Amino acid sequence: MVWKAFFAVFIGYLLGSVHPAYIFAKWLKGIDLRAKGTGKVGTSNLKAQIDSLWPVMITALYDTGKGVASLGIAQALGLPPLIRYLSGVSAILGHVFPFYLRFKGGHGAATASGLALASLIGLWLKLSPTVGIADLAALAGFAGLSYWAVRRGDVIAVFLVPAIVALSLLRFPWEPAAIFASLILCFIFALALEAVIRHRAFPYLPEDIRWWRVLIRPAGFSFPLLSLWVAKQTLLSLIGSVLLLFVLVDVARLSSHRVQGFFFKRLASSFKVFKEKERTRLSSMTLFLLGCFVAFLLFPLKVAFLSVTFLIFGDLTAKVFGFVGGRTRFFAKTLQGTLGYLGICFLASYLAFVGGFTPFWLGFVGGAAASFVEALPFHVDDNLSVPLLSGTAMTLARALMG
């Protein structure tokens, strides 16, 4: 068994290290892909360097399938799931670090995608056709909307891949194949995020954007998650304590020119905390915490959970979609950003439904209300208006539905 395991992992690495892109580029153009374009030995760089389509198609098929082939070989040898998964990962490592190319290969996205797709298909075939079609429709709907809005695969993957991970783990909790697929998808997510940053995909980027504040916004989801495990009073005490700290900082800088100067001059030279428009007002970070606190104070748990979730992920999606594909502007918003907000709210509602947390219609109502409120030019900050009006809409809908 040990020798079989070693053989399977070794074969996986060898299959992964074979690069048709490198071979075709040398054969057809006499060039080394490592010295051209992105410097990566993969399908996208090959496509950019040659005119023929058939070498690109062969490369894409092989790179996508070699990880799956490694899994199949390990399975044919009668090896346990862990070794089979290791052989698949070994194919990714071979693709990224081929020994004969001085360990300079491709990104591994195609091989990882093939592994994740094969694992997920095997899992979803266990479901009833109705459930499988519903899941596919939810993911495909968001993917289609995202493609219309941003037309960039890496940006779409940053939002779609985490949703696929959440859906697979909700559908198949503690299933080894689901855990393996989720880990592979996390690798794909990291590649997509790196590509977004590297390619500078934001043509309409405001000058005063604070990227660390945009990217840290999903960390606020810890509040809704905590609401599932701790008592309401404990959660409110936690959010209130953090809110009080931010309020004190805001009050100090708004009432003292020295403190204000520290944040906007001395500290801003190395680390910019506040936006220019926050010089004379409460920061959006403080208002976000206030919105979370008020939502969990006023509304039932499930309603507050959804309204804060819509605020967190809707705001993030709207910002990114607006930055990347904001072609159609209205008020101070973009159509692409607003549709991204609506799409991620509906997707979050579907995930909450799959998890047995809330009925989908409730999230549909709340998500539509949140998107509508976010799109309108209210003078009230979205961090307050979205959870309040979305939560109110869902509370009224629950009352009307009995």
Using DSSP, state whether 185 is helix, strand or coil: helix
Q: Could you say which of 105, 122, 151 is where a domain stops? A: 105
Tell me how far apart the alpha carbons of residues 205 and 54 are, in angstroms, rounded to a whole number. Answer: 38
**Residue 95 included in any domain:** yes
Q: Could you say which of 61, 81, 105 is where a domain stops? A: 105
**Are residues 391 and 244 both part of a single domain?**
yes
In 256-300, where does DSSP find H-type helix? Answer: 257-261, 284-298
Question: Which tokens sit at 33?
Answer: 């892909």
- Render pLDDT for 12-61 as a digit per residue (tens, 0 to 9): 999 999 999 989 988 888 888 888 887 888 888 888 888 888 989 999 99
**Are residues 222 and 362 both part of a single domain?**
yes
Question: 206 pLDDT band (50/70/90 cuts)?
Answer: low
As for how many domains the chain has, the answer is 2
- Render pLDDT for 247-282 as a digit per residue (tens, 0 to 9): 999 999 999 988 888 888 877 666 777 777 888 889
Non-local CB neighbours of 166 within 8 Å, separated by 6+ positions = 351
Question: Which tokens sit at 127?
Answer: 């479901």
Other beta carbons within 10 Å of 154: 19
The secondary structure element, H or E, covering residue 330 is: strand 329-330
**Residue 353 included in any domain:** yes
The residues facing 368 across adjacent strands are none
**Are residues 85 and 218 both part of a single domain?**
no
Tell me how far apart the alpha carbons of residues 293 and 243 are, in angstroms, rounded to a whole number. Answer: 8
Decide: 263 and 273 in contact? Cβ < 8 Å. Answer: yes
DSSP codes of every residue in 197-213:
HHHT--TT--TT--HHH
- Render pLDDT for 348-391 as a digit per residue (tens, 0 to 9): 999 999 999 999 999 999 999 999 998 888 777 889 999 999 99
Burial class (CB in 10 A: 0-12, 13-18, 19+), 1: exposed
287: nearest Cα among 299, 305, 270, 275: 275
- Render pLDDT for 133-151 as a digit per residue (tens, 0 to 9): 999 999 999 999 999 999 8
Sign of dihedral through CA atoms 209, 286, 225, 149? negative
77: nearest Cα among 3, 18, 139: 3
**Are residues 252 and 387 both part of a single domain?**
yes
**Residue 84 included in any domain:** yes
**Residue 394 included in any domain:** yes
**Are residues 220 and 369 both part of a single domain?**
yes
Range 295-298, long-range pairs (CB < 8 A, 24+ positions): 295/387, 295/388, 295/391, 296/223, 296/227, 296/232, 296/235, 296/236, 296/239, 297/236, 298/388, 298/391
Q: Could you say which of 82, 105, 128 is where a domain stops? A: 105
What is the span of the domain harbouring residue 250? 211-401
